[in-house]
Amino acid sequence: MHKNNWSQEFPAVPESFHNMVEKTLAEISVEKNRRLSRKGFAAVLLAAVLTLGSITAFAAGYFNWNQKLAEIFGADNIQQNSLIEKGVTQQAKSSSTDNGLTIDLVQTLQDKDYFYALLEVTAPKDIKLTDTNLFENWRFDVSGQEEYSYSTSHGFMDVIQEPEITNKRYYEIWIKKSIDFNEKDFTLHFKNLQADAGKLDMYTILEGDWTLSWKMSYKDSTKYFDVNKKYNLSGYDILVKRVEITPLSMTIYFDGGDVKAMEKAEKVDLDKLEFLKPLSFKGVRYNDGKVVSISGGGGEGFDNTTGEYKLSTCFDKVIQIENVNSLLFGTEKSEIGLAN
């Protein structure tokens, strides 16, 4: 049996809090022959509870999400606090300025497989930033390691999400990880801001070098499901072996033979990076019936050792994994159940 150490499970609170609670509760019995009315007792008790809530939240490291990030990922206040508590998001401080342009780290989201960073770029006032601007070079380093594989997507926020054109603009980075970033020193490097003369004819409009560094920190939020059950996806019976899901991404393992049969019937070639529409991830259904439509990017492939087909995808919205009832696939939104 696992025994929890509750002194470590709950966040530590400062001594001033204990003093405040003792003072508040003492008011209940200042005089032995004095009785508080029910209303008066409730008011005193409420003050103690509210104090506990505010101090505990402070001790747990709660912070205000960037509102653009919350808007992009569809995170309401409850989800925002939950993801802070789960250790999925971080607001580390890092900034770099060169030649009048500043890059600030705003906020990150992360699980064991994917990393997302939101940056804010502030250029000199005579430069208007759009989603067509680029940096001539960019790279990242993880604690000086050089040998690791990854896939990435990055760039200035598109005009649909950020329609206003000014000298300030958000910059987004997605990384599919092959190594653990946790507690590692992470560094981003950017060089030379460029603009597009047309048809991706890029030219430098501002020279400079920018470096941001901080220590990564996140907690593994993965929920695991051993499914081992056949489901019908758009007319194909396919064995689902297991699922790993986080608020930010999902990895699902199918029987490789079933996927090869689907590949043949659909007349596609996965080796040529073609994709199977019945396996296109569409979203999740919650226990209350609510459907959250999701699109995202990721990777897939056959594992010759296990005979499995692995599909991994990140989400464009954060989800409440504790409320997920099923996963939706294909144009018909065929369901794979996860309810225990």
Q: Which residue has the higher pLDDT, 210 or 273?
A: 210
Order across the sheet with 281-286: list the strands.
291-293, 281-286, 324-329, 334-337
> If 0-12 CB within 10 Å is exposed, 13-18 middle and 19+ buried, where does residue 171 land?
buried
Query: Is the per-residue pLDDT at 287 higher than 80?
Result: yes
Percent of the chain with pLDDT over 70: 81
pLDDT in tens, 116-151: 999 999 999 999 999 999 999 999 999 877 677 788
Q: Are 100 and 123 in contact (CB under 8 A)?
A: yes
Residue 12 confidence (pLDDT): 39
Please give the Cα distance from 58 to 100 (Å, whole number). 36
What domains can you pick out in the chain, each with its CATH number?
A: 16-59 (no CATH), 67-215 (2.60.40.1630), 223-337 (no CATH)
Of 194, 196, 192, the closest CA to residue 208 belongs to: 192
Round to whole Å and give the CA distance between 133 and 157. Answer: 10
- Cβ–Cβ under 8 Å, residues 273 and 298: no
> For position 186, what pLDDT does the model report?
96
Over residues 165-201, the pLDDT tens digits come to 999 999 999 999 988 999 999 999 999 999 999 999 9
**pTM for the full model?**
0.80
Please list, in sequence order, all residues whose beta carbon lies within 8 angstroms of the beta carbon of residue 326, skipping any fewer than 6 positions away: 284, 285, 335, 336, 337, 338, 339
Looking at residue 108, what is its pLDDT?
Answer: 97
| Distance between CA atoms of residues 218 and 150, nearest Å | 19
Structure tokens at 157: 């926020």
User: Shortest CA distance to 101 belongs to which of 119, 82, 115, 85?
Assistant: 119
Record the tokens describing residue 194, joined without a space.
């460029």
Q: Distance (Å, rounded) from C-alpha 74 to C-alpha 296? A: 14
Q: Is 279 helix (H, G, I), strand (E, B) or coil?
A: helix
pLDDT band at 63 (very low <50, low <70, confident <90, very high): confident
Number of neighbouring beta carbons within 10 Å of residue 40: 12
pLDDT at residue 124, as a whole number? 98
What would the two tokens of residue 23 be? 């003072």
